[in-house]
Chain A
Amino acid sequence: MKAIAKTALPDLFAALQGRVYVPVRDGKGFSFGLWEGQPWPDDYQNAIVPPKHILFPQTEDLYTFRMEGEDMAIDPVAVPEETSFIFGLRPCDCRAIELLDLVFREGPFVDAAYNKRRENTFLMVLGCKEGVPTCFCTSFGLEPAFAPGADWNMWDLGEVLVVEPGTDKGKELLDSLGLFREATDEEKSQVEKLREEAKGTITLHAPTEGITELLQANFDHPLWDEISRKCLECGACTYLCPTCHCYDMQSSSVLGQGRRFRCWDSCMYCNYTLMAGGHNPRPSKRERVRNRFLHKLQYFPENQGEFGCVGCGRCLINCPVCMDITRFMAQAKEVMAK
């Protein structure tokens, strides 16, 4: 374990060779943006938009094309090789990136662009001292102030930041930076205390036990009609979800040249899974709302062996009509089990 004065953070950011993403004040909260010399924001809790866009951009060019006489020339778009540092992401968002890894890197297909970005990215996690009322990470087995998958775990002790590397590449990076001193025993025990106390601050609970099997058995339950009627079919929940990863592929072209790109898609949208010819296996709001919950609680466990929710609470906070996944789970357990 090492330590650094928080006043020295700008020196640390300047010493990191690559793109340094930090929480940046933006609109009504924070988002992850490039560090441009600003001081560390002490009132940062979590970003409104999770940092998944750094690895999986909302819009990403795949190739460009242009007419050359009778022929068409196609040029691939290279993924930048540059190293990225995501500094200050929370354990829930780190876990979410591990879940995206299962989809994009560890499944039968490896997504080249995601994979390259991921290889070149350092996840520098800042443990949560306390959750907010909408946090329920512990329900999904997370620890609010520690991320097992992080390159660095960090804890804010007021004046100093204590850092412990979690991966070989994280250790190598930490050893290469001269800005740190060894953490004192006092600091180490403060970290232990912080980690322990943080767990007790997560008060919201999502009943996960047996939920996958229950949902598997109730694909056509009337509860789906009931809960979906309230949904307004906007994409706030999915676009702000750190594990949602659906995308569409589209092209645009003008005057004989254009580009093929992919962009985030949302199961809340009416064009989601719309096929050529006009058929949509999810024709109404009921099927689309169901898909969002089942993807997190049934399909992800079936396909990746893990829940697809990390309990960050963004969907609860940002839904204009307060759809609440924890409440849905409790309701499902109550009415579907009958």
Chain B
Amino acid sequence: MQRMTDNMRKRAGELMAEGKADRFLGWEKGSFWWQSPPVEIKEASEADRLIWDLFCTANLAKYLQQMQSLEGKTGVFVKGCDARGVNRLVRDGVVDRDKVYLVGVPCPGMIDPDKVRKLVGDGDVTITQLEDGLSLKGPLGERKVTLDEVALDKCLLCRHPEPVGCDEVLEGTARAPFTGDPYAEVRELEELDSDERYDYWAEELSRCIRCYACRNVCPACNCIKCVFDMDRPNWLDGATNLSNNQVYQLIRFMHVAGRCIDCGECERACPMGIPLRKLAAKVDKDVSELFGPFEAGLDPEEKLPLGTFDPNDPDSFE
């Protein structure tokens, strides 16, 4: 981790000095052990703020939208999911690839702080990397675990921990890609009858407070003006109730169909613990079944299943 941190600082400084990037996006240490929030480095001399640890979860791709209006290039450190997020934004035409310099960071997977808290408590927590795992120390004691025991669920299911489409990739080891069934949880839900499924989602979505954190972290949600922010016409009013919450969530997930990169940021950002990745996975599964296997964000020139006319479309339109 320390070696990667050193590399990132060095590389960001060099690239900025060489004029290949005018600013850099990465992560810095936050106020608590479980926080490594995004940071924007404006001068090569600030590069020492950058860090790399097992809490660099936030997807940085989203920030490129606000960087577009700035002169010059923005350098970005990207994990597998960040890189796919950038490809997503480039493919959607909201980010100009020529204004971005991508430095890939092979991702070992990120930690779920709640899983650590359950084992060693909160407060004064230190996490040390061992040859074969992690040592967690906290108020409840010391534990030796593998990274997978405390990794975020979304990282355990990650199919592309190695960043794709970068200008350069830093030396490091990514976790092994998940090769199992990505839709196992969806299949479980599909087994329920329609009333049971409705009840399941009604209970989950009734908790939504419509803070829009899921939308605002999403690299596929990149509309200049979101339909839910429009006041004329006011497609969805501000009342928080099950019906409106369902309209919001279902329309959002249908809108990112075939464009969701499965970074899981929606679920991580949701303060209410709604299992949003399951909705995303269901839509993703349907797209793959209807239009052939597809994973979004692997190529900035990819043909989108729902955005491409193909005379050989598997749907016969009959």
Which A residues are closer than 8 A to B by beta carbons?
Answer: 26-29, 31, 48-49, 58-59, 132-134, 203-204, 229-230, 232-236, 238-240, 248, 250, 252, 261, 263-266, 269-271, 274, 316, 318, 320-324, 326-327
Contacts and interface: CB of A to CB of B under 8 A. Distances in A.
Contacts of A58: 209, 240
A232 B211 contact: no
Chain A contact residues: helix, strand, loop or mixed:
loop
Interface of B: 30-32, 35, 37-40, 58, 62-63, 66, 114, 122-123, 207, 209-213, 215-217, 229, 231, 234, 237-241, 265, 268-269, 271-274
B207 A230 contact: no
Contact of A321 (B38, B123, B209, B273): B38
Contacts of B271: 48, 236, 240, 318
Nearest to A232: B216
A322 to B, nearest CB: 4
Contacts, number: 109
B122 A133 contact: yes
Given A27-B274, A234-B269, A269-B229, A322 B31 contact: yes
Given A271-B229, A271-B231, A28 B114 contact: yes
Contacts of A134: 32
A266 B215 CA distance: 15
B60 to A, nearest CB: 10
B269 A230 contact: no
Given A59-B241, A235-B210, A274-B231, 6 more contacts: A29-B273, A58-B240, A59-B238, A239-B211, A250-B234, A320-B268
B67 to A, nearest CB: 9
Contact of A248 (B35, B37, B209, B238): B238
Contacts of A26: 207, 272-273
Contact of B31 (A132, A269, A326): A326
A318 B212 CA distance: 13
A234 B216 contact: yes
A274 B241 CA distance: 24
A265 B213 contact: no
B36 to A, nearest CB: 8
Contacts of B210: 235, 239
Given A269-B229, A322-B30, A28 B273 contact: yes
Contacts of A326: 31
B168 to A, nearest CB: 25
A288 to B, nearest CB: 13
Given A59-B241, A316-B31, A321 B58 contact: yes
